[in-house]
Amino acid sequence: MRRDIFQAIADPTRRAIIALIALQAMTPNAIAENFHSTRQAVSKHLRILTECQLVKQEQQGREIYYSLEIEKMKEIDKWLEQYRKIWETRFNQLDNVLSKMKSSKTKKK
């Protein structure tokens, strides 16, 4: 089953897992040590992130390491960029209005 990446990152635990492995690849046990949940619960989150291709698995000896899939994260960033531009424009407009209000107050004094 193909999962939606936005559903995957909607969960705070999965976002925390992404933040953890953004710095370095980690084993499921090392990841699970950072949460107050079972190893099985963390494995479920890892499976969902893997199905969405947000993380990748790499076998090193007997251990599996999970790391962030940067290209998939770029897809999320690209989608967010359109909204970032809208909000930056609105904040700039608000700055202009506030500046005009401030300058008109200063002139009245």
Domain at 27, CATH number? 1.10.10.10
**Which pTM value belongs to this model?**
0.74
pLDDT tens, position by position, 39-87: 999 999 999 999 999 999 999 999 999 999 988 888 888 888 988 888 8
Q: What's the pLDDT at 1?
A: 55
Q: What's the pLDDT at 109?
A: 64
Verify that 51 and 91 share a domain, yes or no. no
Q: Cβ(53)–Cβ(8) under 8 Å?
A: no
Verify that 64 and 76 share a domain, yes or no. no
Verify that 53 and 79 share a domain, yes or no. no
Average pLDDT over the chain, rounded to an integer: 90
**DSSP class per residue in 11-56:** SHHHHHHHHHHHHS-B-HHHHHTTSSS-HHHHHHHHHHHHHTTSEE
